Amino acid sequence: MPPSFPYGDPNFQDISFLARDGRNVTIPLYMIDVFCQYNVRLCINLGSQLGASVVLLVFLLLLTHSDKRRSSVFILNGLALLFNVLRLLFQTIHFSTPFEKVYPFFSGDYSSVKPGAYAISIFGVVFETMLVMCIMASLTVQVHVVCKTVQRRFRRPLLAFSLLMALIPIGFRMGWMVINCIYIMAAKSTTGYVWLESAVNIVITISICFFCAVFVIKLGHAIKQRRRLGVRDFGPMKIIFVCGCQTLTIPALFSILQYFAHVPELADNVLTLVTLSLPLSSIWAGAALENARQIETPRNPRNLWSAFAFGISRTMPTHRSGTEMTATGYTGQTLCYADQQISKHSQESEMPLAIAVEHDISVESIRRSPQDQSAA
């Protein structure tokens, strides 16, 4: 058996080293373990977020139709993913700079830190502020699109309040960015401004919950109206509703848990979860809409993924009649009956027809026979 340590647990013994100015610095040994483990855990968390953001950014560019790439929502979501990638990249590189070495951290002597390390830390803070601005702008635009059918007397106050809810987090975040950059250049701790960091997190969480609540309430009401009309398919509207509920609950849960669980990595996941949820809902809804349409007419690939997978020139399928296209459509169609007179020599009592209506929705129409009309 190894001999017992005379001073208790050896992990809690003090170690000393000399600073550059000749003073003696004494720290507990376990603090070095805590310091190293914290950096490793945070790097793993940042790396996983970085990988997920890069993958979703590539998918967004490949799977978005060409006619949607000029929309403001696509541009804002793409910029949010790009800024999130840059933010995570600079924050990960930060842990390889002299700021995160044992001697500068515990001695407070940052004279050996190069100007490039300061620039890396500042870039991470600036890109995080730009990410918040893109998220809030995207949420505001989507609320404007969702509430277009609301009456004007309700829509204008709602949009004004939405704009206010977007500007408040941006203002708090910009103030925290300025203070953080000042203290980075001075190589000092921001312990005195913990309240401001917490306030930034709170207002961002409240703002995200507000926007997602608007999505969920408006889309839930629309889904309820569609169910009354007989449309029960799992379409794009329900997909966006599900993603809205996800964006409403999961980031808020992570934001609240950081005040009760001593896991510092939780706070850094909130912005990434929101950034991933916004384009993911549009990609999923667009794929579901494309599958539901089942367009058989020849066309060129509308997204880069189709061009890469199948080539630009494709074999042109044969045309089908309106009756065949209606029969192969999805099951979530609304039945519409047209009372029209049919000649007595007609032997077909019910004949499906295809009617083209707005939003590319195929509505099935059924003619009634004279016997059915007299019975009605």
> What are the tens digits of pLDDT across the range 244-260?
666 667 777 777 777 77
The amino acid sitting at 361 is I
Residue 115 lies in a domain: yes
Structure-token pair, residue 193: 């401004």
Specify if 347 maps to a domain: no
Residue 368 has pLDDT above 90, yes or no: no
Q: Is residue 261 part of a domain?
A: yes
Its domain, for residue 284, covers: 20-186+194-294
Q: Does residue 264 fall inside a structural domain?
A: yes
Q: Is 139 within a domain?
A: yes
What would the mean pLDDT of 11-18 be, rounded to a whole number? 85
> In CATH, what number is assigned to the domain containing residue 222?
1.20.1070
Residue 34 forms part of a structural domain: yes
- The predicted-structure confidence for 189-209, as pLDDT tens digits, reads as follows 888 898 998 899 889 888 888
Does residue 1 lie in a domain region?
A: no
- Those residues whose C-beta lies under 8 Å from the C-beta of residue 173, and which sit 6 or more positions away, are 128, 129, 132, 133, 200, 204
> Which one has a higher pLDDT value, 332 or 368?
368
Please tell me which residue, 372 or 157, carries the higher pLDDT value: 157
What would the two tokens of residue 186 be?
Answer: 């001075």
Q: Is residue 61 part of a domain?
A: yes
Specify the number of domains making up the chain. Answer: 1
pLDDT above 50 for 224: yes
pLDDT at 282 (0 to 100)? 65
Q: What global pTM score does this model have?
A: 0.71
pLDDT greater at residue 69 or residue 193: 193
Residues 6+ apart with CB under 8 A from 300: 312, 314
Average pLDDT over residues 71-77: 85
What would the two tokens of residue 227 be?
Answer: 């169910």
Question: What is the chain's length?
Answer: 376
**E strand or H helix at 127:** helix 115-146
Burial class (CB in 10 A: 0-12, 13-18, 19+), 226: middle
Q: What is the mean pLDDT of residues 116-139?
A: 93
